[in-house]
Structure 1
Amino acid sequence: MSRNDPSGAGRRLPLLMALACGVGVSNVYFPQALTPLVAHGLDVAPATAAAVATVTQLGYAAGIFLLVPLGDRLPRRPLVTALLAVTTLALLVAGLAPATGLLLAAGTVVGVATVVPQILLPMAAGLVGPDRRGSVIGTLQAGLIGGILLARTFGGVLGEHLGWRAPYLVAAALTALLATILGLALPATAPAVQDRYPALLADSLRMLRSERDLRRSVFFQVTLFGGFSAAWTALALLVTGPRYDMGTQAVGLLALIGAGSMFCAPAAGRWVDRFGVDHVNLWCILSALVAAAVLTAGSLGGAAGLVALAVGLLLLDVAVQCGQVANQARIFALRPEARSRLNTGYMTCAFLGGSAGSWLGTRAYVQMGWDPVCALIVLAALLALAAYLVGRRGRHSGQNARPQLATASQ
């Protein structure tokens, strides 16, 4: 059996790639739990320590745009192992940094280089047939969700018991091990294109204009992820405010409900393979509307309010993560030779949409309270629903027009 055969033993490869996605993305998120420990350990202000998490995330955004397109230009196996090696060295430097300057620099490099999950996703889509593409994307997406979910717990627990340097050093060891395993397990792939690097970057933007289905996926993800980010950003203000008067640990416990979406992502992939991406998108949009309605009860406070927040956030998380599976299945079916560039345009826009949602959610809560935050989610879902209906109508109109054109030409 060849290494490129997606059947048989190849069915275990997506599980390994999902694990790699989880470990990789956790390097972006675990520093968020270390802010007070870094501040105390290096004797700096909390705002200075918080900058470490900020530059890591900004580096991740830059890496998506600057490095992920190389997945179409370079053999992916050596590219993945090289990026993991750079990440390992940067994590090691961060864990041994004597001052914040070097820690900030190393954190930035960690963010830029740890874009391996966004290279593995299009790679995995190309290793299987169209009938399994949704399922495989769902498996890798589950690994991503698990990494995001457990990263803060990993950083917080290990940092609390062994100091803030321990998570960086342990992460460096895990990333080095992962680089070795993937270097042996990933199949060899030939470059899809020979374009120069500036052309690759330009193509990521150009495809947003030329590929209708890419714009469709982008709009669905920007709207729902924007509403999701608005809710989670405002949640910390709500739970720690006078309505509930609870600590940040309560926010962390509520965040654990995201585990539900980790188990739903593979199922969403199977639904995509069976029913199609548009149907899954519609289910996700309707779920977001239901989630917004449930979340409005969070303004009640007390136990009833907490239950409403937990249920509503779970619904919203499932909607966003399952929608991500559908959206990426749609774009990876467009142009096999350009999957990394398609994913670059998609993820860059999604990241910007999430940032805008966080900003709007904070402003809405500070100025008007929790209910306007829920209204933002409703607005985002309604915009997605409108785009869905317009797209379906346009697609049906096009199908009806084609036979008429053919008849006229005869």
Structure 2
Amino acid sequence: MTGLLALACGVAVANVYFPQAITPLIAAGLHTGRGMAASAATTVQLGYAVGLFLLVPLGDRVPHRRLVVVLLAATAIALTVAGLAPNMGVLLAACACVGVTTVVPQILLPMAADLVAEDRRGAVTGTLLSGLLAGILLARTFSGVLGAWLGWRATYLVAAGAALVLAAVLSRTMPRTGARSREPYRSLLAAPVRLLGSEPELRRSCTYQVLLFGGFNAAWTALALLVTGPHYRLGTATVGLLALVGAGSILCSQAAGRRVDRTGPDAVNRLCFAGALAAAAVLAIGYLGGVGGLVGLGAGMLLLDVAVQSGQVANQARIFRLPGGLRARRNTAYMTCAFLGGSAGSWIGTRASAGFGWGGVVVLIALAAAIALAGQALTARRRVEVVR
């Protein structure tokens, strides 16, 4: 069941990321600018943030199987509309709906955490996040390669079929879980905001992920523009292959989960921030162009993927350890913040690439990692002063 839930996380979350690799194809197909086409990736992430806030709290009130199946069916419909969109307006509206409904992974993660013993929670979270990471990375490979062969519309239509198949399988196999809360829906929506205000550890996890995930999305959005632009003049299939290189980071989520169980999330976070700084340095090689530049891009994106996804394991393990239950609502606060940061990163990355080139994007990633590292050091110093 853990493996099946990990697969479900990957298939669902792929819908948020595959538009990043086909931005040039959308621009050509709908006769619009690349900046406007890139807004499809930003819009789906904004929709995802809205869905996290509005729908994930229902994981504490509605039986999980029913909620997940309905959301997957709605996602399939929205993906079909996107694949048939006659213009950017319809595409953006459909992408927003895809984002809102494809929040299934963030319902499954706290559900799985509830079903296992505390000493296995980090490992199980890491396994599901490995599936999530596989979906994130392979989504770009899937869309980049399929889009190059069959066009950008095929990626949306194939994704719609996958969502329908997944809904049918989970309708028969998911564990039957009851409602954990009978609070009014309004109270469920207010809870994440209230928890953000009252729990410093939740705020800390949110801040760390906003910074690194924002840099991560800035890099991927700008990477498609760099590789298909005049610097390299390559196709979207190359973007997909670069994403495939990053698939090696899938194994790191499980290792990060086990390390969190042994040493705690802070130690893993420190390594992730340092890794993101190193990734920025390696990604700078991509500005050279040619084969050497592509190698630098592949190595740098792999390192950045490892840092961001391992940090995700640490951050979610931290909030799942907080007392009092309420995991779905804490996860709502955390993931809403993360994807607001991610959508902002996509938007800023597009502008940084247009205004300052790839170098501006690299500086943005390094700055985000440095701020996170400095923030953690300040927190550690304050704790030492309190003990004294």
Is it true that 1:357 corresponds to 2:345 in the alignment?
Answer: yes
Among candidates 134, 141, 166, match of residue 146 of structure 1: 134
Q: CA RMSD of the aligned region, Å?
A: 3.0
**Structure with bigger gyration radius:** 1
Q: TM-score, normalised by structure 2?
A: 0.87
Offset, 1:122: 1.1
Comparing 320-329 and 386-395, the one that deviates more = 386-395
Name the CA distance, whole Å, in 2 between partners of 1:368 and 1:93.
35
**Which residue of 292, 300, 313 corresponds with 2:280?**
292
Say whether the 8 Å CA contact 2:143–2:240 is kept in structure 1.
no
Q: Which residue of 1 aligns with 2:47?
A: 59
Mapped contact 1:14–1:136 kept (Cα < 8 A): yes
SS in 1 for 2:325: helix
Q: Is 1:391 matched up with 2:373? A: no
User: Aligned ranges for residues 8-87 of structure 1 at < 5 Å?
Assistant: 13-30=1-18, 44-46=30-32, 55-87=43-75
C-alpha spacing 1:123/1:289, structure 2 compared with 1 (3 Å)? same
Task: State the secondary structure of the residue aligned to 2:181.
Answer: coil
Counterpart Cα distance in 2 of 1:92 and 1:65? 24
Deviation (angstroms), 1:347: 1.2
The residue that corresponds to 2:369 in the other structure is: 381
Provide closer, same or farther for how the CA distance between residues 86 and 313 of structure 1 changes in structure 2, counting only shifts above 3 A: closer
* Percent identity (aligned): 63
CA shift at 1:35, angstroms? 6.5
Shift, 1:315, TM fit: 0.9
Q: CA deviation at 1:281?
A: 0.5
Task: Give the SS at the match of 1:250.
Answer: helix
- Give the Å deviation of 1:117: 0.8
Matched pairs, number: 386
Contact 1:64 1:348 (C-alpha < 8 Å) held by counterparts: yes
CA positional deviation for 1:284: 0.6
**Aligned with 2:291 (options 282, 297, 303):** 303
Gaps of 5+ in 1: 1-12, 402-410
Report whether the alignment pairs 1:228 with 2:216. Answer: yes
User: Hey, what's the Cα distance between the residues in 2 that align with 1:284 and 1:325?
Assistant: 11
Question: For 1:102 and 1:364, how far apart are their aligned partners in 2?
Answer: 27
SS at match of 1:337: coil
For residues 378 and 175 of structure 2, the distance between their equivalents in structure 1, rounded to whole angstroms, comes to 41
Structure 2 portions without partners, runs of 5+: none
Shift of 1:245: 4.4
Deviation of 1:278 (Å): 0.8
Change in CA separation of 1:244 and 1:83 when aligned onto 2, cut-off 3 Å: closer
Range 336-345 or range 291-300, more displaced: 291-300
Verify: 1:111 aligned to 2:96, yes or no.
Answer: no
